[in-house]
Amino acid sequence: MMKVISKDAGLSRVYTNHCVRATTITLLSHAGVETREIMKISGHRNESSIRSYNTDSQHTKRAYSGIIQGQKPALPPSAAAGSEQQMLQLQNSNQVPAVIDQALRK
């Protein structure tokens, strides 16, 4: 279905149903939605299947690159904590994850 829609819309890339599914799972994960909730939506039966879809966002990759280059990172929620609530707690307490803190001290 998505292949036909992609072609009819004149998109530069042909999208598949799997592309849309993978993007949805990744976006939900980056937004802090619990894995079990994503599984209910996607129909996956085990968490390892969901984890295979989860990739770092461009923002996260830039933050990691900045760490490697010795810059102080602006961490996105997915890099600093497993959920949006945890990220807010980190921001409010001015804590920096230990790995990032160690990288900045070098």
Q: How confident is the model at residue 37 (pLDDT cuts 50, 70, 90)?
A: very high
pLDDT tens digits for range 7-21: 899 988 888 888 888
Is the model's pLDDT at 72 over the cut of 80? no
- SS3 for the chain is CHHHHHHHHCCCCCCCHHHHHHHHHHHHHHCCCCHHHHHHHHCCCCHHHHHCCCCCCHHHHHHHHHHHCCCCCCCCHHHHCCCHHHHHHHHHHCCCCHHHHHHHHC
Domain boundaries, the chain: 1-55, 57-106
Mean pLDDT of 74-92: 48
